[in-house]
Amino acid sequence: MFGYRTEERLSLKIRKRAEAQRAWPFLSDRDLRAVRSPAELSVLVASRKRVPLPAARSLVASWLNGQRLRLAEHSANSVDPVRSTGYPPRRPHW
């Protein structure tokens, strides 16, 4: 999930790890590199924060949903040609 073994870009993984550390400052970079799934992250959060596993699953799920929403919002804004250049897109001359 945050490690180097999956196909995601390295810069995206590093950013995700930093965001996870902001949410859970008690997790080290080494901890986050070892996490491969939301279930593993939930177990780690439950053990470090000393909360029941269902509560940790809920925390991780809500954090992941927030991450997905921010990512979708960012990608929607970054492909808008008017926002990126300040000009409307060019129309082809047929």
Question: Domain ranges in the chain?
Answer: 10-69
The C-alpha angle 23, 28, 33, rounded to 5 degrees, equals 100
Nearest to 28 by CA among 16, 18, 42: 18
Longest dimension (CA), the chain: 66
pLDDT per position as a tens digit, 13-59: 788 888 899 999 999 989 988 888 899 999 999 999 999 999 999 99
pTM, whole model, 2 decimals?
A: 0.65
Nearest to 67 by CA among 22, 7, 3: 22
Q: How confident is the model at residue 87 (pLDDT cuts 50, 70, 90)?
A: low
